[in-house]
Amino acid sequence: MPRKYSVKSHKVQRIAKERIKFLFQEARDAFKHNVNHSDKYVKMARRIAMKYKIKLPSELKKLFCKNCYKYLVPGVNCRVRIHKHRVIYYCMGCRHYMRHIVK
Ligand SMILES: [Zn+2]
């Protein structure tokens, strides 16, 4: 039997969004002490977003690598450059480039 995908209510989605925001805050704080912990928080936040079908806002998308899902801090494990009206994030962990268009 095919699995039914229920439409998540707005209330549940709002709580999930708050949790995602909180997890990214925690990831930022944990980065100073243990990098692995912040990567774990990113993983948890992504899982919540996928479960409740939430689109991560662009400011949160820039905080982790799209390839290895590591938490990125510019100047520490990530390089930020501007090229042809695009902000380019370079992950030093997996050497992956991410391009964000600036409006
Ligand atoms: Zn990476």
Cα 73 to middle of ligand 1, angstroms: 12
Helix (H, G, I), strand (E, B) or coil at 75: coil
CA-wise closest residue to 52 among 4, 9, 98? 9
Q: What is the pLDDT of residue 74?
A: 92
Start-end of H helices in 1-103: 10-31, 35-51, 58-61
Cα 3 to middle of ligand 1, angstroms: 33
| The pair of three-digit structure tokens given for residue 14, joined into one six-digit string | 């709002």
Q: What is the pLDDT of residue 16?
A: 92
Domain edges within the chain: 10-101
Domain at 10-101: CATH architecture = Up-down Bundle (1.20)
Confirm whether pTM is higher than 0.85: no
pLDDT in tens, 12-61: 999 999 999 999 999 999 999 998 999 999 999 999 999 999 999 888 99
